[in-house]
Amino acid sequence: MSQKFLREEVDAAVDALLLQQVILYPTDTVWGLGCDAEVPRAVEKVYQLKQRPAEKACIVLVADEQMFARYAEQVPDNLAELLAGQQKPTTYVVKGSRFLAPNLLAADGTIGLRVVQADEFTHKVVRRLGHGLVSTSANISGEPTPAVYKEVSPAIVRGADYVVSWRQDDETRHAPSRVVRVLPDGGLEVLRD
């Protein structure tokens, strides 16, 4: 796929996000639904489309450590070391900051943040947007998670405001991210490996 096509898809996705719309897009793990993490109305639409209970929090993709710090009440002292040592995409559960849409936070005030490192498309979208990007698997709640585009439910495709064309024909299967909770002492508790 060409760099021109990549740029066009990044531009179109960011345009939709700036209009507070919901996009269907390939992430660094599975196909996801996303919106600007600072827009409660867009977050609500993601929950409605997934038919997901509001108490089940989504995660937020960020471009770098600085963006991570915007959305985390407290940043792990060793975040750079943790990111450098990752073997696969890892989501860090931390106390969320006031910059996040309130309806994104779990009941205990936490949020899952993942720095996108390996996926060029998603990294460029988050960087251009300048805000965190909501990421939740592109399925109706309780149904199987779509690893590739052809597994995405037609109802989800119809419900998204913008469907990204990038990697729709890619058959590479990626697993969901590793999820760890950052403990008060800086340690990590593995929630999903």
**What CA dihedral angle connects 65, 105, 180 and 48, to 10 degrees?**
-110
Give the angle 91-150-27 at the CA atoms, nearest 5°: 25
pLDDT tens-digit profile of 156-177? 999 999 999 999 999 998 888 9
Residue at token pair 């269907």? 24
Judge whether 34 and 46 are in contact, CB under 8 Å.
Answer: yes
pLDDT tens-digit profile of 30-82? 999 999 999 999 999 999 999 988 778 899 999 999 999 999 998 988 899 99
pLDDT tens-digit profile of 102-132? 999 999 999 999 999 889 999 999 999 999 9
List the domains of the chain with CATH numbers.
Answer: 3-192 (3.90.870.10)
